[in-house]
Amino acid sequence: MNLKIKHPNRTPIDPHRKVSPIVCFFASGFFSGYSPFAPGTVGSAAALALYALPGFEHPLLLCTIVVLTFVLGVAASNPMEKKYGHDPSVVTIDEVAGMWVSLLFLPKSIAVALTAFLVFRIFDIIKPYPARRFDEMHGGIGIMMDDVVAGVYANILVQLLLCIASLRHWLLIV
C-alpha cells in the first residue's frame, strides 16, 4: 500500500518513498540531521568543523564549495521533502551551506568563526525577510534559500562588527 499523507499547503508525504543512502548522507549534512537534539545547530557545527580544515577559507575554494553545495543541496532536498514533508529537520545541508556563506571573505580565527556561527544560528531561527518567504516555499530551492539568506545577513553583520572593532582599535591608537 502506497500511503501518501497530504497536508494543506504542504508537500504530500510519502513515508514509503525510497531515498538513496548517498542522498540521505548529503541532504542530512553528512548525517548531522539525524541528531536527536538541535539538528540545525549540529549541521552548522559540522560545517564549522569542515571550515577548520587548513585552506578551506580560501575565497575561491569556499565560493566553489558553496555553489556546489547549494546546487547539490537543492537536488538532494527534493526527495527528502517528498519523503518527510515540508523542510524536514533531518535535512541540514541547508545549514551547512548557510554557515559557509556566513564565513565567506572573513578572516579565519576562532573568535570570528564562533561569532559567525552564533549570528547565523540567530538569523536562521528568526528568519528575517526574505528568508521567511523562502522558508514557506516548497522544494529544494525553498529549503536551501532561507539558510543562504540567513548566511548573507550573518556575514554582513560580522563584517560590520569587524569594521567597528577595527575602527575602534584605530581610534584608540591615534
- Evaluate whether residue 108 is within a structural domain: yes
Lowest mean pLDDT among 11-15, 120-124, 141-145, 150-154: 11-15
Decide if 124 is inside a domain.
Answer: yes
Which residues span the domain enclosing 117?
21-173
Q: Is residue 128 part of a domain?
A: yes
Residues in Cβ contact with 90 at an 8 Å cutoff, skipping those fewer than 6 apart: 27, 28, 33, 34, 39, 80, 84
Residue 171's pLDDT is 66
pTM of the model: 0.86
pLDDT digits (tens, 9 = 90+) for 53-102: 999 999 999 999 999 999 999 999 999 988 888 888 899 999 999 999 99
Say what the pLDDT of residue 88 is: 86
**Would you state the pLDDT for residue 64?**
97
Residue 14 included in any domain? no
Q: What is the dihedral of CA 86, 88, 94, 98, to 10 degrees?
A: 90
- What is the rounded CA–CA span in Å between residue 44 and residue 95? 5
The pLDDT score that the predictor gives to residue 134 is 77
The answer to whether position 121 is within a domain reads yes
Nearest to 43 by CA among 116, 93, 118: 93
Residue 64, in any domain of the structure? yes
Residue at 8 is within a domain: no
Range 15-19 contact pairs with CB under 8 angstroms and sequence separation of 24 or more: 15/83, 15/84, 17/79, 17/82, 17/83, 19/79, 19/80, 19/83
Q: Is the pLDDT of residue 8 over 60?
A: no
- pLDDT greater than 50 at residue 5: no
Q: How many structural domains does the chain have?
A: 1
Per-residue pLDDT, 174: 53
For the chain, give the mean pLDDT.
88
Name the band, by pLDDT with cuts 50, 70 and 90, for residue 7.
Answer: very low
Does residue 3 have a pLDDT over 60?
no
| 3 domain residue, yes or no | no
Q: What is the mean pLDDT of residues 114-130?
A: 93
DSSP state of 58: -
Q: What is the DSSP letter of 3?
A: -
